[in-house]
Structure 1
Amino acid sequence: MGKKIAVFSMTPLFPELALGGAQKQLKKVALHLGELGHQVTILCTQRRDAKTPFKWHENADILPVLRFKQPYPEPYFTPLYHIANAMRRVGAAIAEADVHYSHDGGLIFPYVYQDKPTVISLRSILFAETLQSALLFQGDEWILPSEHTRASYEAVVGQFAPAVGERMRAIHNGFDWQHFRYTKPAEIFGVITPEVADHPVLLFPHRPDSAKGIDEVIQVAALLARDYGWDDLRVLAPRWLDAESEPGQRDYYQGLRRKISQADLGDAFVFHDWINDKLIAEYYSLADVTLCIGSYVETFGNTPFESLGCGTPPIVSRVGPYRDLLPDEHIARVDYGDIEATAALAHEILSDGRRTSPATLRYLQSEFSQKAMVAAYADVILGARKKPPLHYRMPQLSDDTRYRLAPWCYIAPERGIFHDFRGDFQADADLIRAAQQKPAGFSGRSIDAQQLRFWLDEGYVTPLVGQ
């Protein structure tokens, strides 16, 4: 007997288009559950151009009925009655279902789902409503896409709800490697001018968020043209869906064009329409190097994996899960902000005509299988059982409290401690010494009180009070 599953998505959904990696993963999970014979009903935010219900599968209905603010961010910056109506609609759907699944956070009111088995997957560690969902968590199972994200949330929420870690599970994103493989560019030239193929191509396949690294990409492209002789480069970057209609987006792209002009890059940057799933493999395959070099703290980050699958080597910054999701032999990494190292690596890849190695392709297919991912999600969602409410309490810090380096920090041998959320390096010899000598935790008694307060206030350390 199939189950009824009520799904919440704060982000708008489309029949073919995906606004980000989280929505791609949701579609994969929904299709799998539908194939198993379960009835999936997804309530999502509507847009002016996306109000009509549709199906991903005969058993997967998408209802764009929620009226949270668009475009993103600040979805709750909307009239009170829109929030009330959304809560009623979602609550009614959950009441009729056997289990509730909340994808990508945003449903910050536990009483909406408190009576049914609930699985929550948080796909951001930055957005306000996702953080609120975490710190108000009362779900029965908590899925996170990487160990970095799990460790970060447990380090924070676990201070107040010591048992929360027992409900957490890291499930890596998985990919259809029959789709994400080298695909000779053809239809993509209906979106991107064919002459691009006559040039070396850098790819910046990200939404227009400066933290994603567009300013760093401009600097890298300028350095490649000036110092390495790649003066015929083309850099591909998508325009956001609201690039022409939303004033903030128009201003953003105008500012980008000014920066590109000031860098003497002329026609190097090619801005194009958003690429749908059907063309994405051709898009990656068209490029020579994919750049993921921003300071944005991903919770997983699909782009490097998709690019590798299509044969195009990515360069990623050592930020968040990019530090350790793939072994060093399968990906090129740079410290955030190291433009010279990035340009040197890109020059090597361009000069060698390097593509993804067979060994890396085998590793991806073995460790990041879509089949394994959707099966793991289905096991958690279908097996969810109602548990007692999590107990929250206020932690007490004392002289005996132990601390350790926060999961969002790492020690760079030559640059000090990098802090994911600050996006900078701190050359703090005392903290480096304490973290290296006692990685499992050091006593607050051994540290100057003022110094410890600074580390705690600025997020360099977390207290071990819930473990």
Structure 2
Amino acid sequence: MCASSMSEPKKIAVFSMTPLFPDFAMGGGQAQLKKVALHLGELGHRLTILSTQREGSMTPFKWHENVEIRPILRFKQPYPEPYFTPLYHIANAMRYVGDAIADADIHYSHDGGLIFPLVYQAKPTVISLRSIIYPETLQCAFLFQGDEWILPSRHTRASYTAAVSQFAPAAPERMHTIHNGFDWDLYRYTPPSAIFELIPAEVADHKVMLFPHRPDTNKGIYEVVQVARRLAHEMGWDDLRVLVPRWLDADSDSLNIAYYEKLRRAINEAGLGDVFVFHDWISEALIPEYYSLADVTMCIGSCVETFGNTPFESLGCGAPPIVSRVAAYRDLLPDEHIDRVDYGDIDAAASLAHAILSEGRRTSAETLNYLNSAFSHEAMVSRFADIILKAVKKPPLRYRLPALGDNTTYQLAPWCYISPDRGVYHDFLAAYHEDEALIRLARENPEGFPASSVAPARLRAWVDDGYIVPLVSA
């Protein structure tokens, strides 16, 4: 029996900046929160989750008899910029969350967003940051005063270590890497049936490419349009269908309306009006059927994913994904279990998709076995529970400004990698930089090189543009 199952029942106050719903999730982070919350509830602990209101999530509900969700926070919707809201909503949120924490034994903040240490400083606090791009999550990192810090991938942990430890050298001592875990009894091939209530049944007679992402151009939709054009018009796949879910407020939010209008124009200009099929957002219950319907799943954008559930769920259901070598996608799975392309390499993505469609390839038994052993739901929720339930109040982290000089060591930033053909790829710039001096230094000195080995102006430029980071000791 794991340690967490033997703990005395505890009251846990949970913060979720993102809205939560009874039967579907707005993203992978919320799906993971539900798994962890249900596990803690099953162990007998009582969770009160405070989340942001939005249409469809305005009144309290329960995921479990011990897990209550109270959508009472009034952060701006839709995302992003949740703090672009009247100051009294922020004050009320601080008070509501603070009151819930005061009444609890432990505080758990999921996916960042709570940027005020004042609110949680009196109780043991575990903070899970699941983004390295959203401003409020970055603020949580640089203002971190939690007792334990959970991160979903090595890439994310290395990135926060490189940035935050310059100012709080002891912060990495509180970090834990917990990969997302999956219920492989759920994410397995499931004959499509109920999914045809949302998607035309005739789609099953075609080769199917999935783009199961929210309306964010960084997710790679325009790259997928280019790949689909190659497949349909140059490689003989005139029966291709590309499935694209429409976001929850696709017809009401002005930004999303503009997004879909622009996307449809691009699709029509590419001669793909019959190829792309838009449909309503998919509920959690139908996700396995959705992936099982697919022949290939596309994750070829520049979005800086801290984990990215889509490739894993797709593999579990049998559909091979193609992912870009961006952020966590570079190393979460060994090469033998997934197909990767450099970001922006449309030729390579189209060739891989063509091969997968031609071969009728499905996920191999070896890959399924690897997923079951390395990314299990049980292991993930157990690790979360152990860290949350064992959290104790620690002294505040000490912050200070680093002193950099000629003896400071620098290394290639963890958000960069060297492409053999294109130069240094920078996750946050979504661009390649052909700088032979930087490439040579990074390859010859993977553990770092001294500042004195580079001309000051060049060093400053590399630092300012985020290609290298200083290694600063306590």
Please tell me the residue identity of whatever aligns with 1:427.
Answer: E
Q: Quick one: which of 325, 334, 357 aligns to 1:327?
A: 334
Equivalent position SS for 1:278 = helix
What is the match of residue 186 of structure 1?
193
C-alpha distance in 1 between matches for 2:273 and 2:384: 47
The secondary structure found in structure 2 opposite 1:25 is: helix
Q: AA paired with 1:279?
A: L
Residue 65 of structure 1: aligned partner:
72
- 1:48 Cα deviation after fit: 3.1
Residue number among 386, 392, 417 corresponding to 2:399 in the alignment:
392
Corresponding residue for residue 295 of structure 1: 302
The question of 1:223 aligning with 2:227 is answered no
1:443 to 438, 442, 450: 450
Contact 1:201 1:236 in 2 (8 A): yes
CA shift for structure 1 position 397 = 1.1
1:18 aligns to 2:25 (yes or no)? yes
- Which of 207, 219, 242 is the aligned partner of 1:212? 219
Residue number in structure 1 paired with 2:251: 244
Aligned to 1:5: 12
Per the alignment, residue 376 of structure 1 pairs with 383
Aligned to 1:257: 264
- Structure 2 Cα separation of the partners of residues 49 and 181 of structure 1: 29
Q: Provide the rounded CA distance (Å) in 2 between the counterparts of 1:117 and 1:39.
A: 16
- 1:128 shift after superposition: 0.5
Task: State the secondary structure of the residue aligned to 2:284.
Answer: coil
> Matched residue of 1:279: which SS?
helix
Q: Structure 1 counterpart of 2:9, which letter?
A: G
Which residue does the alignment assign to 1:124? 131
Distance in 2 of aligned mates of 1:14 and 1:48: 10
Q: Secondary structure at the match of 1:455?
A: helix
Determine if contact 1:289/1:315 at 8 Å carries over to the other structure. yes
How many residues align? The count is 467
How far has the Cα of 1:466 moved from its partner? 3.5
Output the CA distance in 2 between the equivalents of 1:377 and 1:203: 31
Task: Report the AA paired with residue 297 of structure 2.
Answer: T
AA in 2 matched with 1:117: P
1:99 aligns with: 106
1:365 aligns with 372
Q: Please, what TM-score do these two structures have when normalized by structure 1?
A: 0.99
| Residue of structure 1 equivalent to 2:204 | 197
1:420 is matched with 427
Letter in 1 for 2:420: P
Render the CA deviation track for 1:332-359: whole Å, top value 9, x for unaligned: 0000000000000000000000000000
- CA distance in structure 2 between the partners assigned to 1:232 and 1:351 by the alignment: 13
Deviation at 1:49, TM superposition (A): 2.8
Alpha-carbon offset, residue 209 of structure 1: 0.2
- What code does the residue aligned with 2:242 have? V
How far apart in 2 are the matches of 1:176 and 1:49?
A: 26
Task: Return the alpha-carbon distance in structure 2 between the equivalents of residues 48 and 295 of structure 1.
Answer: 30
Structure 1 residue 248: Cα displacement: 1.1
Is residue 369 of structure 2 the alignment partner of residue 346 of structure 1? no
Q: CA offset at residue 227 of structure 1?
A: 1.5
Name the residue aligned to 2:177.
Answer: 170
Conservation of the 8 A alpha-carbon contact between 2:21 and 2:56: no
- Match status 1:144 vs 2:151: yes
Q: 1:247 offset after TM fit, Å?
A: 1.2
The answer to whether the 8 Å contact 1:160/1:466 transfers is no
- The secondary structure found in structure 1 opposite 2:285 is coil
1:280 counterpart letter in structure 2 = I
Distance 1:123 1:421 in 2: 16
- RMSD (Å), alpha carbons: 0.6
For 1:181 and 1:296, the matched residues in 2 are separated by: 26
Please state how far the C-alpha of 1:306 moved relative to its aligned partner.
0.1
Give structure 2 stretches of 5+ with no counterpart.
Answer: 1-7
Q: What amino acid maps onto 1:245 in structure 2?
A: S
Task: Tell me the alpha carbon deviations over residues 216-253 of structure 1, each in whole angstroms, 9 at most, x when there is no partner.
Answer: 00000001112111112100011000100111111110
How far apart are the structure 2 equivalents of 1:69 and 1:365? 38
Supply the distance in 2 between the matched residues of 1:15 and 1:406 (Cα, whole angstroms): 40
Q: Distance in 2 between matches of 1:50 and 1:172?
A: 28
Structure 2 counterpart of 1:207, one-letter code: R
Deviations 1:308-339 (A, max 9, x none): 00000000000001001000000000000000
* Deviation >3 Å, runs of 4+: none
Q: Would the aligned equivalents of 1:144 and 1:170 in 2 still touch at CA under 8 Å?
A: yes
Match of 1:89 in 2: 96
CA deviation profile, 1:257-284 (whole Å, cap 9, x unmatched): 0000010112111111000110000000
* Contact persistence 1:161–1:466 (CA under 8 A): no
> 1:8: Cα distance to partner?
0.1
Match of 1:453 in 2: 460
Contact 1:29–1:378 (CA under 8 A) maintained in structure 2: yes
Q: Aligned ranges for residues 42-57 of structure 1 at < 5 Å?
A: 42-57=49-64
Percent identity between the two aligned chains: 70
Match of 2:62, SS state, is strand
| Cα displacement (A) at 1:414 | 1.3
